[in-house]
Amino acid sequence: MPYKISGTINESADIIVINQSDWAVETTTSESAGSFEIGLLVSGTKTILARRSDGYAMGYGNVDALYYYYYAPGDRGVWGGGCIAGIYYDVMDYITISSAGNAQDFGNLTLARVCLGATSNGNNDRGVFAGGENAGYKNRIDYITISSKGNASIFGNLTLARQYPAGTSNINGQRGVFSGGYTGSGHNIIDYITISALGNATDFGDLTIINAVHGACSNGNNDRGCFGGGWGYTNVIDYITISTIGNAIDFGDLTLARNNLTACSNGTNDRGVFGGGSTGSDTNVIDYIAISTLSNASDFGDLPNTRRALAAASNSTNDRGVFGGGWITTDVNVLEYITISSTGNAQDFGDLTVKRRYPAATSNA
């Protein structure tokens, strides 16, 4: 478990942390004058030495390291469901997000379907897939343990059977939300679940507009969810505080009004990206926002090809986003990646196991 020590120094110095259980040096670091904090230590009592560049040193003994929560994001992304030419899939694929390569088989959803939404509780390792369509609109919510290959199990039901919802969460707050959807007409509904506890969804509030086929992302533990683009080729971005039930509020606008797009983020690093979609014609545009700051989106770069009906996942603070599946004049299995903190065009990552449009994706980050 991670522990930390902290303090204040008047001048720049090298900080040496000695573990008093065996008097071995545990770590060293260079710190500037002012407050400092050193984390990822083992539990126990420390002696701390501060040594200036001229060699002068002073120390403090019997300093107890304090436990703190350390978020270590996972690195597995999972794509589930989708369809091609009227064939509905229950297939789930997985990738290691930090390592480019082709996806591998993960297992199967409880129900083959297309146009579903997905989210997770991050490094707590549970992914959920909700809603969709196959011979009717579905309210089914499935769950998986992302780090362990295997078939999905039933989690519960959405408040309304529908296709095209978008999902996001506040990670360790354990709340997942699914926004919008379509049942022959669009909806502005937002549902929520407690990801760690099986059960049916509950009403959260409403989006500012009727919406479906839109993208959703969050800044993770910082508790803001954003929903962008969607039904009727809109450029609207809404936001909510995920831990607080209520209606969404206007955030700003995407650079391009469109639907059939997707989104992901680098978590607490606060950048959300919205990629692909259709304006009536398919687009390759990628936009970005600072999730904690209300404003319009800015241009990030482009996907290699114009593309809609895709899904995205990321490894959060490790900063890689991956776009997978969709439609490029035909159904595709391509995977492409970006570095979320650095604007630029997406690059080839590999391929999903099956070509398909309208899958959903999530990760344990």
**Residue that has been written with the tokens 């009536």 in this structure:** 280
> Is the distance from CB of 179 to CB of 193 less than 8 angstroms?
no
pLDDT in the model for residue 72? 84
pLDDT digits 0-9 by tens, 234-264: 999 999 999 999 999 999 999 999 999 999 9
Indicate the SS3 state at residue 348.
strand
CA distance 361 to 5: 38
| Average pLDDT of the segment spanning 103-114 | 98
pLDDT digits 0-9 by tens, 290-320: 999 999 999 999 999 999 999 999 999 999 9
Residue 56: CB atoms within 10 Å: 10
Cα–Cα distance list, 260 to 214, 249, 283 (Å): 6, 21, 10
What is the per-residue burial (b if ≥16 Cβ within 10 Å, else e) of 168-189?
A: bbbbbbbbbbbbbbbeeebbbb
- Backbone φ, ψ for residue 221 (5° rounding): -60, -15
> Is the distance from CB of 49 to CB of 61 less than 8 angstroms?
no
What pLDDT band is residue 40 in, cutting at 50, 70 and 90? confident
User: Does residue 321 register a pLDDT over 80?
Assistant: yes
What pLDDT band is residue 70 in, cutting at 50, 70 and 90? confident
| Average pLDDT of the segment spanning 117-122 | 98
pLDDT in the model for residue 299? 98
pLDDT in the model for residue 67? 86
| Average pLDDT of the segment spanning 189-200 | 98
> Is the distance from CB of 287 to CB of 272 less than 8 angstroms?
no
pLDDT digits 0-9 by tens, 79-93: 999 999 989 999 999
pLDDT in the model for residue 25? 93
Cβ neighbors of 55 (< 8 A, separation 6 or more) are none
pLDDT in the model for residue 218? 98
| Average pLDDT of the segment spanning 136-141 | 98
User: What percentage of the chain's residues is helix, strand, coil (to nearest 5)?
Assistant: 5, 55, 45
CA distance 89 to 79: 11
| Domains delineated in the chain | 3-67 (2.60.40.3110), 76-363 (2.120.10.80)
User: Does residue 200 register a pLDDT over 70?
Assistant: yes
pLDDT in the model for residue 213? 98
User: Does residue 69 register a pLDDT over 80?
Assistant: no
- Backbone φ, ψ for residue 178 (5° rounding): -125, 120
**Which is more confidently placed, 69 or 95?**
95
pLDDT in the model for residue 39? 87
CA distance 361 to 350: 16
User: Does residue 1 register a pLDDT over 70?
Assistant: no
DSSP 163: B
Dig out the tokens for 213 from the structure.
């086929």
Of the chain, the end-to-end C-alpha distance in Å amounts to: 18
Q: Cα dihedral sign for 353, 348, 115, 173?
A: positive
Mean pLDDT over all residues of the chain? 96
250: β partners: 238
User: Does residue 130 register a pLDDT over 80?
Assistant: yes
